[in-house]
Amino acid sequence: MSSPGPDFAARRRALALGVGAPILLGNNGNRPRNLPINALPFRADSSFLYFTGCTEPGAFALIHEGHCTLFLHPPEPGDELWHGEVEPLEARRMRLGVDAVRPLAELDFVCEPHRGRLVALAVPDSSVTARLSLITGRALAYTGAPGPDGLVDAVIRQRRGRDAWELAEMRVAAEHAEAGHRAAMGATRVGGHEREIAALFDAVLAARGVGTSYHSIVTVRGEILHNPDYRNPLADGDLLLVDGGAETAWGYASDVTRTWPVNGRFTARQRDMYELVLRANLVGIDMCRVGTRYADIHWAATRCLAQGLRDVGLLRGEIDTLVESGAVGTFFPHGVGHLIGLDVHDLENFGDRPAFAPGRARPSQFGARFLRMDLDLEANLVVTIEPGFYVVPAILHDKELRARFAELVSFDEAERWIGFGGIRIEDDVRVRPAHEEGGAPEVFTAMIPKTLGEIESLVGTGLSARERLSA
């Protein structure tokens, strides 16, 4: 693993102190892909992982009066034949640093005295959430009703702040992502294929002993924001957008996007738009300081984009009007970023509550309504900054939008841009305390090439993805 790990017992003590009631946490179980013996890739629930360090499917943890009891599947006859040596329960107790480990079959019996006071959090696995609901007598749902307010608020407070160990782990996640992105850039060739670059990116991470933090986006159709497919060949003149991050052994994520020309050289139009998005990226990063309102970062990046889009003739009118009306969302139809941590969009299972200060809500403007965060930044928060420019035919051909923005968007000119694709530049940024480096932001992903010169000097300089994968 990348480090010895944090003090999980201290995390649990802080949680118990903040909640004041017995707490039952559940982990996801193995979910069959089609048969019970053929499961989907397993990922522990992030809150369960944060407070226990336990990655065993189907585990539960009871936290009460400073003690933690884990409930795990005991070894069964035949386990060693099919899965190798299985740790005895006592060995697992010692390794995980909990007070007791009991067989999972005893969970209901041990929890019975706490009924009526026991609180729990829903998890992505609906069968586990159903069991938590049954044991606690409280209806839970992963989205909408994740748990009692006091427990949810306590978990958010702890998980949102980053201690020194977590920050170090997130730097490691960024280093792994760097390796993947550099390999992908070097291996890009005209005549290659999206699936080859995607396979190489994932393989580089796997060779380093880690996985991806989400399904990697590798596409010459960058206008499809979360394109899940790798269907397209890499053609001369294409821009390749790669949105890919790594997840460390302890579960911490990086989230990085870079965009580069398949042939290694930006066209004049691509260069102009790339430089515009990069300016917006740098404006946003520089504002990641203690006390800054995150929504102000979004609006500053949006204004930067609006100015550039007006300069090239895609927008027209006053900058304030372009921003306030949402017209700039025609080409920048999402928010500037989000929290990142154990989840790549950290804590979003709790809805907008972790990422919006009391009394604040998502904007109503087109595009900006997808803003995922509006907090006043605090020291050691880690956020992404990811402005972009996209030419989306479905937006340009939307009759309602064409009528609404007829005076502000040059739709005839925009039609001539169809096929451009999209550009996004995304970095992971730590908000430094004011006394550290003058409060200047720390960019975990700064070493991943993103200037025009850095990109053009790297793209296509190594073996192709096909050659690397078949070597």
Q: What is the pLDDT of residues 433-455, one digit of tens each?
A: 999 999 999 999 999 999 999 99
Residue 2: pLDDT over 70:
no
Residue 74: pLDDT over 90:
no
Q: Above pLDDT 90, what percent of the chain? A: 90
Residue 104: pLDDT over 70:
yes
CB of 63 closer than 8 Å to CB of 51: yes
Q: Please state whether 80 falls in left (phi above 0), alpha (psi between -120 and 50) or beta.
A: alpha
Q: Does the domain spanning 8-160 belong to CATH 3.40.350.10?
A: yes
Confidence tier at 86 by pLDDT (50, 70, 90): confident
pLDDT in tens, 407-417: 999 999 999 99
- CATH 3.40.350.10 domain position(s) in the chain: 8-160
Residues, the chain, total?
471
Q: What's the CA gap between 176 and 247, in Å, rounded?
A: 8
Residue 1: pLDDT over 70:
no
H helices within 188-267, ranges in order? 194-207
Secondary element (H or E) of residue 17: helix 8-19
pLDDT at 85: 86
> Structure tokens of 384?
């992404």
Closest of 275, 261, 339 to residue 305, by C-alpha: 275
CATH topology for 164-470? Answer: Creatine Amidinohydrolase (3.90.230)
Residue 471: pLDDT over 80:
no
pLDDT in tens, 133-182: 999 999 999 988 899 999 999 999 999 999 999 999 999 999 999 999 99
> If you average pLDDT over every residue of the chain, what do you get?
96
pLDDT in tens, 311-345: 999 999 999 999 999 999 999 999 999 999 999 99
pLDDT at 145: 85
Closest of 298, 224, 255 to residue 448, by C-alpha: 255
pLDDT at 3: 53
- Whole-prediction pTM: 0.95
- Beta partners for residue 384, in sequence order: 428
Find the angle CA(408)-CA(414)-CA(420) to the nearest 5 degrees: 140
> Structure tokens of 326?
């949402």
Q: What's the CA gap between 238 and 302, in Å, rounded?
A: 25
